[in-house]
Structure 1
């Protein structure tokens, strides 16, 4: 199924972190695991050259941002903010959190985790998702982070923890023959992808997506995808035959449970996605029809959202403006600096700041005046690591021009542009008020100009 548009001998630098059986380096120091098998097959058919780069998960993600790594396999929304990276559309793998316990334990629901010791492991995404689940149900538990999944399993085996929270794919290999059994407690389904830097490797991700779609839709006996998943679901038999057959039965039950939960989770995710897309579409229509500039920036003051009105003002679109700062937009550097200082004040003080701003309107080749309101948004509200800034700016250029025109009509002669009688009376009233507050002298000078009509006519 080689793509006709694939570039021959493309070189891809692949960030490889230790997360078996998803991705790791084997004893021969070669990239191995589910994602490695999938990517190696695509590379073989597309004549790509893969350069594995060993790194911790966080370092791999940072490598994407800096450009030292082209692609990182097996990432989900729990690992990175997908809006700031690029990924293919079809998930390469679906995973969820499974709670494992010692035989004889009676854990039937997540409520049974109250006041328990839960072993987790680093770089699993559980350090964020598990506390959120516990808070949602009002539960209190002691989290015991370990270096990796085997260490989390060992903590339960040696009675240092009551249960272990393990990603289902990792748990299948790590716990099947170590006297731990999967409980009925599962949560936090996640879809995992091959991920690249934002707006990079679009052709690579499209090709990977086409292979995944073909493999996942192929008949069971002809699917390379099923072959890879089956390969990594196999566990070497133990020495004891009784334990072996018991493990086989456990594995069969686990796989059956996996199919059930995958189907259930997919249906639930599909319905939630449908409702979310409908809600987002309604909100997008509302925001794009509002006669105001609406935007959201992250803690680095980079745009993560701007409505259509604002994009049109700067000659951008909703995709191109993302990741840019005000210095990247069509405005003077001095203006961008002033806006940045105001945004920083919002982030530092957490206060709502409102006031007028001057921006150059490139479409009408003139200065425009805006009344802008800026406020703080929490990290949770914008799905970021740190707080951000939300702003609404309304163009008041015409309003100010109308107000100034009305003022001129009221207090100045339309022909001579000189102050009229209303202006004189207003200034006299101000002078009298000043004299009342602070006793002083004032005088009115009256000059009678003969033949003033000649001046008007001139």
Structure 2
């Protein structure tokens, strides 16, 4: 009666729980196949699927919290999660956690070793590094064993078992301790060896915080007790799904008491016969159960398992093999491989089988098999073992084949990404550099072999295409370039894309003679230029582009890195000479590059150590004398002396250092103007400062000039900024806007080298200029060339009509000066009046 009442109460409680649709927070950590998270983050694995079955029956809403083992345990003890699967029972844990009664799984711990490490007993752990899961039963057991045995073991904790196996496979330790479920599933993936050392059998449960969530444990206990007593229950279905042995259940043993009196020998014989028949029946039943369990295991394993006789006929196949063959397992028995695979695959399989059957050796081989209809192909990693009878004779083989098709595809994709360009499919920088290195080393070893060369190809003005038509059209052009070059180059040559619009061609087997090989490389380079000069088709319209090609020969005797650098230098030389051509590397290029590098480094040091100085060349007004000066920079090198700007300004402009240098010149000039303003005789003098293109097009140029004027206290009207016509060709509207802002502050602008550029009147009338500067090339031949005289006269007239002052530079003789006066010029600058000198000399000469 009491039992019935208790059952009724339990049923009521369960009914309320079902109706309540409770949310259960579950800790999930990675320890497949026992517990893991699926693609949606939900609990999976054996214990995760079992919990899912229970949750569905109870209308629980599982809320997973993914964490590593140690952190999951901390969250459970803190009550931040309701339930944690896969907890091994220990007395110490029972002080803080609650468990149900029926174990969910039985497990044990086992040691796995890295390749080459031998381990036959636990005592051999002395001096070895052992990886263990943090706060796991393996860690506590080995710590206790090490202390009690006096054998020193270096335990290294990890946050997860996959991390432990990966570290062991990478050689970071020698041994890892793991539960046998994870070890059996993962050891082959990491190429680890399973030792014979087994320890600490464990019972695995779902656990809750002490004194909390007893209703959860009650439901779990009820379900596990019911399911484990029924071979067709969800419990065994989950185990089969994950390919796991069913746990040993404690089947009740009945003791049969025979109290009947033996009345005769006949009755005793009959009883004995009956007993023997019963034993045979029990044994048969147990054997059948064992066979069914074995079949369940073999059919659940994610591998193709089979047995063949000595004639190659299948004697057994598991469900995986039958699915591959497209038939039932019984239909495959007695048939050979030629019934399922094509002729080539069958011949290869038969050859491998004979090695096992005839030599009696274990075989591990990759087998590429194609189905009989040719529609499916798979790559298998096959392990085949001979089977022997009691006399040692081989009567069959057992094979285990794992489908690694996807793995091989991933390997191919990784290789493709590592060594080939994604856009064009050509070899990438990494591959071509390896081939170049091998080719150069071979040539250095075999001095009498054919010469080789490296061609560096760069598309001219490719950036214009990207800017005008977009990067998609640029990518399309690069693909067409790659296809065209591949079509016309030799099979022995290597075409590769380095990146952007840069390609290289590695030429080998040209000719042993250096001169002939150079001629052949030149012909190939010219052919490439001609090929790329032919129109391409973009957006159904022809598009023409050119290419610059640099050539470096193996005969130069340099290594692969130097060879690539020299070909690059030769390509830039081709660009400097007008593009659309071929240039060979020579030693002068290297000398120029080295010299430029020295100047770049020297300029950086010169800025830091204040090695620059300013020189001043006077500018004169007719009948007024000196009215100002042009500021000219000089480099006072500590070892090479005074260096003229023509030697370092071009390098400063190309390297980007001109902005810092220009900023320094502007600051020094404004400070000098502020100093002159203190004295009446120099207060109205101005300084003309040359502005680089980088400075002028800088977004912060106006603010920079304004700040320098404010900080120095210089009068803006005394600052003249000189610009050239070439600086106005790019983004002229932005330049005009900046000039107008500075003009509003009082700064004046002078157009330098006027007449040597485009001299467009359309932009000249828009510019807020105050002065035109006649280039020295017109002044030099003013006495002998009527054209120069006419040009100067025109510039003077233009300046007068636009109300612009005109100054002539490069005046070196009195005759030139008199001629300019005759033409109406009022302002002058040149050696006739004074050379660029230091400030002290300039001031002395002006007094």
Q: TM-score, normalised by structure 1?
A: 0.48
Q: TM-score, normalised by structure 2?
A: 0.27
Higher-RCO chain (CA-CA 8 Å, sequence separation at least 6)? 1
Q: Which has the larger radius of gyration?
A: 2
